[in-house]
Amino acid sequence: MLTKAPHLFDDATRVTAGDSRWQGRTSDDYWAFVGPFGGATAATILRALIDHPERAGTPLALTVNYCAPIAAGTFDLDLRLVKANRSSQHWCVELTQNGGEVATLATAVFAERRPSWSHQPAPFPPARPFEQIRPFPRIAATWANQYDFRFIEGDPDFSGTSPQSEPVSAYSRLWIGDRVPRKIDMLSLMSMSDAFFGRVFHARRQMLPFGTVSLTTYFHADAEDLAAENTSRVLAVADAKIFHRSYGDQNGELWSPNGRLLATTTQIAYFKA
């Protein structure tokens, strides 16, 4: 009998149900420099919510505040349905370790998305085909190696800038897929919304101490829309507007190859420079 090994991403975001408290575990496969990849943490939180027996509707918005580094090992997820009405649910999630120390604080909105007038004013970014672009090489952070990044514009270049040189553009446009292909679902969209290199790395052409502080992602497709797209990659764009007093922003879009805007995302991140 052939059994299929679970995808590493499904392993990394695995949760065990409890009553109100669930449990998860960090993954060495999705590790950043000082803790787990924030996208994997966000996806794990979303997975617990989606799997929760009281959950109704489809994810609409998730905000994740990274309060402290998560240590390697297990963590608890405390999921609380703060308010529910006919068409939406509001959740609050605390990720704790060491018997109650909060490492991550999140809020989520789920909604029954009814048919409506539909209009997508955002322009679909132009892109060379995925197959025609060389994958971005492996780097020291394991999380990045779980992804197949193919840059169309704004390839990272960590050759450094001199203090005199002008900052370069923080804009990137790239295909993102799982290194081992996996169909795009809400969980991978959530994770990929954090799967950009720090904008400050691009602007300064160097790696620097960096950490996402708060991440917000909006979903513009429901499960049915995603199933119809039936794709294992997204066309992603990210940019920054400002770096000031140790914090910088990032805003991004995740598109299906067919030109549907699946998610928008924004974050504010600490940097040292």
Query: Which residues sit at the interface with its own copies, rule CB under 8 A?
Result: 60-61, 63, 65, 67-68, 82-83, 85, 88, 90, 92, 94, 101-103, 105, 107, 109, 111, 113-122, 167, 169-170, 203-204, 213-214, 216, 218, 220-222, 225, 239-247, 249, 251, 253, 261, 264, 266, 268, 270-273
User: C-beta of 219: minimal distance to its own copies in Å?
Assistant: 9
User: C-beta of 87: minimal distance to its own copies in Å?
Assistant: 8
For its own copies, give the closer residue by CB, 24 or 252: 252
Cα dihedral 112→267→81→17 (10° resolution): 100
For its own copies, give the closer residue by CB, 146 or 267: 267
For its own copies, give the closer residue by CB, 44 or 250: 250
Tokens of 115: 């048919």
User: C-beta of 204: minimal distance to its own copies in Å?
Assistant: 7
Closest CA to 42 of 186, 150, 170: 186
For its own copies, give the closer residue by CB, 138 or 241: 241
User: C-beta of 18: minimal distance to its own copies in Å?
Assistant: 20
3-state secondary structure of 39: helix
- Separation CA 244–CA 249 (nearest Å): 9
What is the 8-class DSSP label of residue 134?
P
User: C-beta of 125: minimal distance to its own copies in Å?
Assistant: 12
Write out 156-212 in H/E/C secondary structure.
CCCCCCCCCCCCCCCCEEEEEEECCCCCCCHHHHHHHCCCCCCHHHHHHCCCCCEEE
